[in-house]
Amino acid sequence: MTTTALFWFRRDLRLADNPALAAAAERAGQVVPVFILDDDGDGAWKAGGATRWWLHHSLASLDAALRRVGSRLTLRRGPAAAVIADLIRETGATALYWNRRYDRDSRAADTAIKSDLRARSVDVQSFNGSLLFEPWTVASRSGGSFKVFTPFHKACLAMTSPGTPLAAPDRLRVPPTWPASDALADWRLLPDTPDWAGGLRAAWRPGEPAALQTLARFLDERLAGYVTARDRPDLDGTSRLSPFLAAGNIGPRQIWHAARLAAGRAGATAGRAAEKFLAELVWREFAYHLLYHHEALPEANLRPAFDAFPWQDDRDALRAWQRGRTGVPIVDAGMRQLWQTGWMHNRVRMIVGSFLVKNLLQHWRHGEDWFWDTLVDADLASNAFNWQWIAGSGADAAPYFRIFNPVLQGERFDPTGAYVRTYVPELAALPDGVLHKPWTADAATLSRAGIALGDSYPAPIVDLAASRARALAAFATIRRAAD
């Protein structure tokens, strides 16, 4: 008797190195691949606008890949448990396969589905398709979890190397008849009124083929210079793999082994660069480790002392930050890059984050929410972890006195102003010496550049020195409370 299994795609939208899909293909007579759009299944963390755009194109790419191996993608919308029950009834499936999720709400939902289906004699199998090392497998010497990255990193490197990536199936056995499927266009994942995604379309091509090409291009062309170029937003020095990784168009094991192989071919310089690059992959692992062991990470301060922090409620300042109208060029460039392309250079993420939570004293949750909606690489673990890191409220957090000076950061990491001129073109005619601090330019220089501060470009919404002093005083209050 031929057995039928459902394979449930989630944030693993690829065929290669997909452990649960490989197991379903090996063990079941025929496989029905399905993706479920559960609008109410992720609590408050429904997919943001940029993520929905990426999802649409990833699903289209995934369906095309499945058709090349003789299969297709079934789309259903609704509560996941109910949709799965319907599909089991319609297909006669006796098994369900998926790759695991690690946040509190998803784990609870998956546990409930497993319990219900196993009670009805449906075989449910889950796998690790998202991480190098699952959160419970990395433990301190005392057997507990980590709160500092360096020992976590060392513990990961001491573990058995992540397994070799699995090949994509050459062929999937399919049922004689297919269950009904929604049309992807009917889900309206793409913006239309207005269509704000022009910059995303120009910057990205989602899907598994593009992910593999992006990885290969980075390793061939930019890995050797990664250590120095990675901090320069004016250079194309990073991998740009984060949105593909967030959607599961590519898996971390694929990146890990490809980088190791490329470094081995290229020599010592590339080897050092590969280690630095792979440390960023382990940083992502650390975020998931924390999310698993501290379930409220996206909503609550990991350090309770921050519950008493004197955040300011300034909606005008928040709006200026969101729109890239703070009057601080490197901050505005980053926020406009985010809005236009759905992505922001990592160095600039730290700069704009520090400016929001320290110079403006806005709660880190405001930044987390905005990034969740606007980033194509929005990832619950990384987003929460990194915002708490920059705020000082999380694990291994930046020291409270580390307040990025955006002028010095701009001058150091965008020395010719190419990045600012790209995203804040109204400042393009300013000389390099004042580009990152236009408020210091004399009237004649501003006039020659066609700039009227407060009109064509805003004056700074805060004084950097005064706001830094205010932030240090605010941090001092909670330090005294903690002591």
Dist. CA 88–CA 4, nearest whole Å: 9
Sequence ranges of the domains in the chain: 4-129, 131-164+208-293, 304-482
The DSSP code for 130 is S
Cα–Cα distances in angstroms (integers) from residue 417 to residues 409, 420, 428, in the given order: 11, 5, 8
Summarised one tens digit per residue, pLDDT across range 253-271 is 999 999 999 988 766 677 8
- Residues 38-46 have a mean pLDDT of 67
- Residues 360-372 have a mean pLDDT of 98
Dist. CA 6–CA 358, nearest whole Å: 48
pLDDT score for 300: 96
The one-letter code for the residue type at 170 is D
* Cβ-proximal residues to 310 (8 Å cutoff; 6+ apart), any chain: 361, 474, 477
pLDDT at 246 exceeding the cut of 80: yes
CATH of domain 4-129: 3.40.50.620
The one-letter code for the residue type at 291 is L
Catalytic residues: 280, 283, 311, 346, 364, 387
Peptide bond into 194 cis (omega under 30): yes
pLDDT score for 398: 66
Structure tokens at 264: 């081995």
CATH of domain 131-164+208-293: 1.25.40.80
The DSSP code for 438 is G
Looking at 133-267, list the stretches that DSSP marks H as alpha helix, in order from N- to C-terminal side: 149-158, 198-203, 208-221, 226-229, 242-247, 252-266
Confidence of residue 311 (pLDDT cuts 50, 70, 90): very high
Summarised one tens digit per residue, pLDDT across range 51-95 is 999 999 999 999 999 999 999 999 999 999 999 999 999 999 999
Dist. CA 297–CA 233, nearest whole Å: 29
* CATH 1.10.579.10 for the 304-482 domain, yes or no: yes
Is residue 130 classed exposed, middle or buried when 0-12, 13-18 and 19+ CB atoms within 10 A define those classes? buried
Summarised one tens digit per residue, pLDDT across range 373-410 is 999 999 999 999 999 999 999 987 667 778 999 999 99
